[in-house]
Structure formats: C-alpha cells, structure tokens
Amino acid sequence: MGKIAYELDLPNELVLVHPVFHVSMLKKYIGDPSTIVPLEGLEVKENLAYEEVPIEILDRQVKRLRNKKVASVKVLWRNHLVEGATWKAEANMKSQYPHLFPSTSIQA
C-alpha cells in the first residue's frame, strides 16, 4: 500500500479482520514451525476471541507474602507449547477447572 502501511493476505478464517496494517503494528518474523498454532479445532468467535482451555497443571509454588501465603500453579494451555505455560492463582484455577486437580483426600 505504501511505505507505512501494508495489506496482508489473510486466511479465510480472518475475513472479518481489516487487512491493512501500519508498520508500527508489524514485526519481522523468522519462521519456526514448532511455534505455529494450528487453526483446526480453534473455535474463533465473531469478535475474533477464543477460549483458552487448560489441559494440565505442570508445577505448583507457594509464595510467602507478609501475612499470608499465595499458591500458584503453572498451567499448560491447549494449542500452546510448554514454553507458553503461565502461572495462575491456584484457588481461581481450582474453582474454574476442578477436573485438573485430583482429589488428595484419603478415603477410609
């Protein structure tokens, strides 16, 4: 389009996105096939949002603050690599996704 705007050839799934972008919104990308997120199975809504789905808890940590302890879990999300795992508050994750936390109570 010019020196400061580029028109991108977007896939059909992104037909609602305006294809012209200012250069400040773009950055050079050197392809790495392992970082490509497949679009199959990714349910993109009309507003171009999609729901992140956690698939596994990878780690747990407890940070001690002044008067309390805060537990966090490292969450692996669907369509993300392990490097894309994020730390989330354990209490929030337990309330939203209880199936990720096996019961630790011992039944007698």
What pTM did the predictor assign?
A: 0.54
| Low-confidence residues of the chain: pLDDT under 50 | 108
**How do residues 57-76 score in pLDDT, each as one tens digit?**
999 999 998 999 999 999 99
Q: What is the pLDDT of residue 58?
A: 93
**By the 8 A CB rule, do 89 and 54 touch?**
no
Q: What is the pLDDT of residue 37?
A: 65
Q: Tell me the C-alpha distance between 64 and 25, whole Å.
A: 39
Question: Where are the domains positioned within the chain?
Answer: 5-100
Consecutive H or E run containing 94: helix 90-96
Q: What is the pLDDT of residue 61?
A: 94
Q: What is the pLDDT of residue 64?
A: 92
**By the 8 A CB rule, do 75 and 57 touch?**
yes
